[in-house]
Amino acid sequence: MSQTVDRALSILPLLAQGPADLGQVAERLGVHKSTALRLLRTLHEHGLVYRQEDQRYRLGARLFALAQEAVENLDVREIAHPHLVALNDRCGHTVHLAVYEEQEVLYIDKVESRYPVRMYSRIGKPVAITVAAVAKLLLADLTEPERRAIAEKLDYPMYTSRSTPDAAAFLKELAVVREQGWATDLGGHEESINCIGAPVRGADGRVVAAMSVSAPNVVVTAEELLTLLPLVRRTAETISREYSGTNRPKKV
């Protein structure tokens, strides 16, 4: 763990929230302005940070290029995408694809129902890990000690009265999900939104990604949403088959 690099990298999420000037960066990093300046300069040279005309800093172009390459290396996404679209065509609801990476669950694709162009809205943002259907699916596939370790490290915010309250309940839920091969989130994150999900598996049977369909209560009830379960599971299995079949052995 390198202190200097650590500080420099801490600037990135800070700037992701919006442009900031030198003083703000220094303050939020807890370092002297001159130090912040030099770190920013280095980031700037690598194109990760951009300096706009008012001299404030924000994230730069190269970061986007890198991110693009990073996501291209996730070939699950490419394979899954057309199937997610097809699913969206049939049911009309929002479809998500997520992966587990380093103690986090991240959406890597999304097809939205009403506003097809508003796709970016949440991709890349960390998922509410204790309640989301995709998170349960991904965590349920870890080994028992891993699950336990993570469950105990997590916070359990009560987004709603139906949110997972604590580690014990979470582990129990994971066991259920693990056995039944699918997962739900019924109003656990937002009171009026329900969600059903299924796992995408690699050739060795391990879960490499998870997909879900979300819809608000006002459109369909939880019961109606659950009738889509076979369709969702079938889609996930189709993706799994294609992913395990056409792929080079060692990936993601």
Region of 23-31, 121-129, 160-168, 169-177 interacting with a copy of itself (CB under 8 A): 121-129
What are the φ and ψ backbone dihedral angles of 66, each rounded to 5 degrees? Answer: -60, -45
The correct pick among 22, 50, 156, 229 for binding a copy of itself (CB under 8 A) is: 50
Region of 30-38, 182-190, 192-200, 207-215 interacting with DNA (CB under 7 A): 30-38
Q: What is the CA radius of gyration of the chain?
A: 20
Q: Which of 4, 180 has the CB closer to a copy of itself? A: 4
Distance of CA 142 to the CA centre of its chain: 17
The SS3 assignment for 127 reads: coil
Q: How many CA atoms lie within 13 A of 125 on its CB side?
A: 12
The SS3 assignment for 184 reads: strand
Task: List the x/- string, 45-84, binding to DNA by CB under 7 A.
Answer: ----------xx----------------------------
DSSP result, 189-234: SSTTEEEEEEEEE-TTS-EEEEEEEEEETTTS-HHHHHTTHHHHHH
Q: Which of 21, 166 has the CB closer to a copy of itself? A: 21
Query: Which residue ranges make up the site for a copy of itself (CB under 8 A)?
Result: 1-2, 4-6, 8-10, 12-13, 15-19, 38-39, 41-48, 50, 52-54, 58-74, 81, 85, 88, 99, 101-102, 104, 106, 108, 111, 116-121, 123-126, 250-252
